[in-house]
Structure 1
Amino acid sequence: MNKVPSSELKSRLRRFKKHMDFHHSQWEMVVIFSKINQYYFTGTMQDGMLIIPQNGEATFWVRRSYERAVDESLFDNINPMKSFRDAKYDELPETVYLETEVVPLALYHRFSRQFPFKNVKSVDRDISTVRSIKSEYELSLMRESGKIHAHVLEDLVPEILKEGISEADLASELFSVMMKEGHHGVARFGMFDTEMVLGHVCFGESSIYPTYFDGASGNYGLSPAVPLIGSRENKLKKGDLVYIDIGSGVDGYHTDKSTTYMFAEKLPDHAVEAHYKCVDVQNQIAEMLKPGAIPSEIYDSIMGSLDDEFLENFMGFGKRTVKFLGHGIGLLIDELPVLAHGFNEPLEKGMVFAVEPKKGIKGIGMVGIENTFIVTPKGGECITGDDPGLIPIL
C-alpha cells in the first residue's frame, strides 16, 4: 500500500489555510464531503466529512469505513461517527464554507440540521486553486502515469490494431493492457454527472459524433443508454483514421493523451496537413507554459494566429466546438486552470496541463493531438511521449 506521506498531507493543509487566510480573512470553518478532496487532504476516501477550522486541528469524521481510513491514512485526527450528530461542533460559526459544486441538497439539509449555521459560501475554487500546484510527490506519480500512456499508445496499440476489430473490443483490450502496465483503473472527471470508463476509442467519423461530453471529440458509444467505450458495430477497415483519447493514472493522479493512427492507407493530404498544424499549435502552447504566463493570453495569442479556414471545425466539429485549448489535470482529468477566456491568474511552477489542439474533418474524423505538460521556467515539460501521431499501421 502506497500511503500519502504525512509531510505531504501537512503541507497541503498548511497551504490551503494560508490561501484561505489571504483570500477570505474572516473564514472560520471549511467542511469537505467530496471523496476527491478528502483524499487530497487525508490520503483516504471514505463516507465522512473533513472539518477544517481556521484555528485548531482539522478532524476527519468517518462513517464508513473508519477501520479502513485508519489503515490507509497518515492523517493525524480520524474519528468514527454514526451520524452527523456524533460530530457536533462546540463553537459553530455563522458562515461555513462548503463544496457547493458537489454537495447534494439532501446532504446539505441533513448536515445543517445538526450544524445549524446561518450562511454558506463556496470553497470549490479555493481548493481547486491550491490543488492546481503539484508537489514533487504528485508530479512523480503523474510522470509514472505519463510513461504508461506513452508506452501503451505509441508502442503497444499499433500491435493491437487489426482489420475487423470493433471499437468496443479495442477498448476492452486497451483497458486490459493499461491495467497490466500499472494504470489505476479509472478516469475521473469533475464535470457534473460525467461517466467515463477509459475515454474515446474511435474509428473514422465516430470521433466527431455528437456528445454531451465537454471536449473536442465524440464517440458512438455502446448505445444511447451507455454513450461510452465504443461501438460494437463500428469495425476497423482499411483507410480508417483511428482516434484514441484516454486517461491514464497512478495512485489517483492522471495524465491525458490523444493519439491518431492511419490504418493500412494514408489519409488525404488536407487531413494530414490539418493534423500537423495541430501538432505545431501544441508545440507553440508548450513553449508558453512558463511561470507568469496568463492562460487567457495564451488562448488569445494562439486563436488570433489561426486563419478562418483552419478555425472552421477547430476544437470540435460543426457547431459543437469547445472554447479552450487545454485544461489543468491531476486528481481529476478536468481541473483548473483552463487555457481559455476568463482565466487571468498567472501560471505557477508545478501546474500541469493537458494541451489538446484538434480539428474535425468531415468524412474522416478528428485529427490533432493531446499531451500532458508540466509548467517549468523553460516551458512545458511533456510527460506523455513525443510521437506526433498519425502513426501508420501497415
Structure 2
Amino acid sequence: MELYTPERLAAARRAAAEAGLGALLIGPSADLRYLTGYDAHALERLTLLVLPADGEATLIVPRLERPAAEASPAPGMGVRLVDHEDGTDPYHIVQDLIGDRAKTVGLGDRLWAEQVLALRDTLPDATQRLAGAVLRGLRLRKTPAEIAALRRAGRAIDAVHERMAEWLRPGRTEADVAADIATGIREAGHATVEFTIVAAGPNGASPHHGVSDRVIAAGEPVVVDIGGKMPDGYCSDSTRTYCIGEPPADFADYFAVLRDAQRAAVAAVRPGVTAQAVDAAARDRIAAAGFGPRFLHRTGHGIGLDVHEDPYLVSGNDTPLEPGMAFSVEPGIYLAGRHGARIEDIVVCTGDGAERLNTIDTELVIL
C-alpha cells in the first residue's frame, strides 16, 4: 500500500473547489508532506505548493533545495517543480501561476507571517483564508496505508518502552535516561526523535516537564512520555509510568483509578461516539474517585504526520468518531509537589470499536 499517491492531490482539488477556493498555497508543513511527500525545510527562502482547484500542481523551491524535492515522491505524483535562485523574487512565479484566476486562496496554516504578507501583496485582489479548514477533513480519516504506518510506529515505540529497565534506575539523572531513550528511539527505526519526557517524583506532576538534571531516587514514580517520526513521516507517541522500587501507597491507589479510566476511554471508542464522550469516559471516573481537579488536560489528540492534529478528545468537541480516525487516549493524574501518572495509547477507530496501536501492558511497571 502506497502512502503518497496522486489521489491526495485530486482530493485536495475537489475539497478546495467545494470550499470556494481557487487555489491552495501550502508551505513547509505536514500538509505539504501529506499532499506531495516532500519533507521541506522551513526557510526564509520560499518553498510553496501552488495547487489550483482546476489545474496543475506546481512546487516552487529554492534552487539549492531542488535535488531534495526531486528525490521526494512529488514528481512521481505529477507535481511540476519550479526553482528560484537566491537574490531573485520568487513571488512573481505565484503571480504567473495564479494571476487573477483565483479570487479566494487557501494559505497553509503554518506559513510564516512574512510569506503570508508577501502573498497578499502578490495577489492583492485575492481573499486569503486558511487551507487547514479544507485539508483537515482529508487528513482526519486515515487510509489503510496510513493506519499501517501508524501501526509500525506504535510497534517501534513499544520496543523502546520494553527496554526501560536498561536505563531507568536510581542515581541517574532524568537527562541521562532521556539521552539513552533518544538513542533507543532511533535504534527502533525512527528517523527523528520528537520528544523525550522523563519526569521523576514531583516533576511527574508537570505533564510537559521534559527533562532535568534531577537525580532519580529509589521509590519514585517516573512518567516517561516518548515519541518519534518514522522515515515515512508518520509519528509515534506513548506514555507509561514506572516506579523505581515499591511505590508510595497513595500513588498505587490513584494509579489504579487512572488505569481503569484509560481502559474505559479506549473501550468507549466506536463509530458515532463523539470525541467529547471519550474524554468523559475517562474524566468521569477520575472525578468520581476525587481526582477531577488533578486531571489537567484533554484526554487525547489526533496523530499522523503531526504528533498533534485533529481530532481532539476534549469537552466541547462533538465530532462523531469515524473509522480511520487515529488519536491518543492519555488521561493523567497529577499531585503538585509530589508525583503524577499518565497512561497513553494510540488508538484507531475501526468499523465496530477500537484498535490499540500500542500493545504493551498499561499496568504500573516496577523496576
What's 1:341 paired with? 315
Pairs within 5 Å for 1:20-31: 20-22=16-18, 24=19, 26-31=20-25
What's 1:112 paired with? 120
Pairs within 5 Å for 1:56-135: 56-63=55-62, 64-73=64-73, 74-82=76-84, 83-87=90-94, 88-89=96-97, 90-99=99-108, 101-135=109-143
Structure 2 Cα separation of the partners of residues 275 and 376 of structure 1: 28
What's 1:298 paired with? 278
Structure 1 Cα separation of the partners of residues 181 and 24 of structure 2: 41
How far residue 302 of structure 1 moved from its aligned partner, in angstroms, is 4.2
What is the root-mean-square deviation of aligned Cα atoms in Å? 2.1
- Name the SS for the 1:201 alignment partner: strand
Q: 1:281 aligns with which of 250, 261, 284?
A: 261
What's 1:359 paired with? 333
How far residue 21 of structure 1 moved from its aligned partner, in angstroms, is 4.1
What's 1:48 paired with? 47
**Does the CA contact (< 8 Å) of 1:42 and 1:75 recur in 2?**
yes
Is 2:14 the counterpart of 1:18?
yes
What's 2:235 paired with? 254
C-alpha change, 1:13 and 1:149, in structure 2 (3 Å) is same
How far residue 71 of structure 1 moved from its aligned partner, in angstroms, is 1.8
C-alpha change, 1:303 and 1:312, in structure 2 (3 Å) is closer
User: Is there any run of 5+ residues in structure 1 with no aligned partner, and where?
Assistant: 188-197, 210-216, 220-227, 316-320
Moved more, 272-281 or 110-119: 110-119
How far residue 334 of structure 1 moved from its aligned partner, in angstroms, is 0.9
Structure 2 Cα separation of the partners of residues 340 and 245 of structure 1: 20
**Does the CA contact (< 8 Å) of 1:200 and 1:207 recur in 2?**
no
How far residue 272 of structure 1 moved from its aligned partner, in angstroms, is 1.3
C-alpha change, 1:125 and 1:281, in structure 2 (3 Å) is farther
Structure 2 Cα separation of the partners of residues 331 and 307 of structure 1: 33
User: Is there any run of 5+ residues in structure 2 with no aligned partner, and where?
Assistant: 41-45, 85-89
C-alpha change, 1:105 and 1:8, in structure 2 (3 Å) is closer
Structure 1 Cα separation of the partners of residues 179 and 299 of structure 2: 29
C-alpha deviations, 1:146-202, integer Å up to 9, x for none? Answer: 11111211x211122232111111111110111111112132xxxxxxxxxx23111
How far residue 363 of structure 1 moved from its aligned partner, in angstroms, is 4.7
- Name the SS for the 1:239 alignment partner: coil
Q: Which TM-score applies when normalising by structure 1?
A: 0.83
- Name the SS for the 2:30 alignment partner: helix
- Name the SS for the 1:86 alignment partner: helix
What's 2:168 paired with? 161
What's 2:186 paired with? 179
How far residue 362 of structure 1 moved from its aligned partner, in angstroms, is 4.2
Residue identity in the other structure for 1:55: D
Q: 2:324 aligns with which of 321, 336, 350?
A: 350
Moved more, 35-44 or 83-92: 83-92
How far residue 328 of structure 1 moved from its aligned partner, in angstroms, is 0.5
Residue identity in the other structure for 1:253: Y
Q: Which TM-score applies when normalising by structure 2?
A: 0.89
Q: 1:218 aligns with which of 195, 204, 208?
A: 208
Sequence identity percentage: 23
C-alpha deviations, 1:221-264, integer Å up to 9, x for none? Answer: xxxxxxx4x112x1111111111011133121112111111102
How far residue 27 of structure 1 moved from its aligned partner, in angstroms, is 2.2
What's 1:214 paired with? none
Structure 1 Cα separation of the partners of residues 39 and 362 of structure 2: 37
What's 1:206 paired with? 203
Is 2:364 the counterpart of 1:390?
yes
Residue identity in the other structure for 1:245: D
